[in-house]
A = this chain, B = another copy of it.
Amino acid sequence: VNPTLVGTPPALAGDVQSEKDVRGIAIDQVGIRGLRYPILVEGDDGPQPSIACWELTVGLQADHRGTHMSRFVETLESWGDAPMDGPRLLAMLADVRERLDTTSAEATCAFTLFLHRRAPVSGLLARHGIDCTFEALSRAGGDELALRVRVPVTTLCPCSKEISEYGAHNQRGYVEITARTGSASTLTFGDLIAVAERSGSAVIYPLLKRVDERHVTMQAYDSPTFVEDVVRNAALNLTADRRIEAFIVEAENQESIHDHSAVASIRWERP
C-alpha cells in the first residue's frame, strides 16, 4: 500500500471516537488550542484583518469516548468571511454545538487589534497594536461573553517621586481587563482600552517626536500611580459602565528598579 496514491480509500471502520465510554466521567472541555487563523475584527475605522489564535472546546457526555477534533477547524473555515464580534462568535458556538452534538461550547479567540494613534503634541499618526481576546460560552442555560484587553501604559512611582529630590522611577506596565457583558452588548475593546489607558501615569504611543516625549515625560511625573492606584482607577470606571456585569482587572509593572514585577488585581461582580 502506498498511501500517497490512495484515491478512493476503503471504507474505514473504526470510528473510535464514537465508542461508548464506561468510565462514567463527563469532560468539561475538550477540543483544540493554538490554531492560528485569519480573522476580521472591528477597528476604529471599520473591519480590519488580523490573525486569531483559537482555543475551541466542547463539553463531552460521560458515555462518549471522544469528540471530533476536525469539526472545530471545519467550523472556523466555514465562518471565516465576516467581521467577528460577540453575537457572531456566540452564533458560531451554537453551530459548533450542533455539529458536535453537545450541550456546551467555549471559545477563546486572541488577536492583535491595531488602533490609529496620534502623538499628543506633534499629531503624527502611527498604528498601535493591542492584545485583545474574546471569551465566549454557549450552552442551554444561557450564553456568556467576555472581552479582554492587555494594554501597555507608563507608570511612575509616587513613593520614588516623594522621597527623591529629583527624578522618579517609572516603567512600562500592562493593564489587563476582562469584562463580562451581555451577549448583545455594545461594549467594545476600544472602550476597555480607553479605561486601561486612563488608569496609569501616561499613555503609551508607537511614535513620539521630541515635543511628544517632553509631554509624556512630564505628564507621567504629574500623575504618579502605584500598581494599586492603577487597578483602583480602572475599577472605578468599570463599575460605572452599566454594560459590564463583572470584571477582573490586573496591573503588572515591569519595575525599572527590580528584575521582578509589581502586580495588583481586583475581581468584581455587579451586585
Contacts and interface: CB of A to CB of B under 8 A. Distances in A.
Interface of A: 1-4, 6, 9, 12-17, 21, 23, 25-38, 48-51, 55, 57, 60, 65-67, 69-70, 73-74, 76-77, 80, 112, 114, 120-121, 124-129, 152, 154, 156-160, 162-172, 202, 204-211, 213-222, 226-229, 231-232, 235-236, 252, 254-267
B263 A30 contact: yes
A112 B51 contact: yes
Nearest to A251: B30
A149 to B, nearest CB: 13
Nearest to A172: B256
Query: How many identical subunits does the complex contain?
Result: 4
A134 to B, nearest CB: 17
Contacts of A69: 262
Nearest to A216: B257
A216 to B, nearest CB: 5
Name which of A74, A163, A221, A229 has the most chain B CB atoms within 10 A of its CB: A163
A227 B30 CA distance: 8
A220 B164 CA distance: 11
A113 B195 CA distance: 33
Given A6-B215, A14-B159, A220-B169, A36 B112 contact: yes
Contacts of A1: 165, 218
Q: A65, A69, A152: which has the most chain B beta carbons within 10 Å? A: A69
A60 B159 contact: no
A60 B263 CA distance: 12
B70 A207 contact: yes
Contact of A12 (B36, B171, B214): B214
A35 to B, nearest CB: 4
Contact of A27 (B9, B74, B231): B231
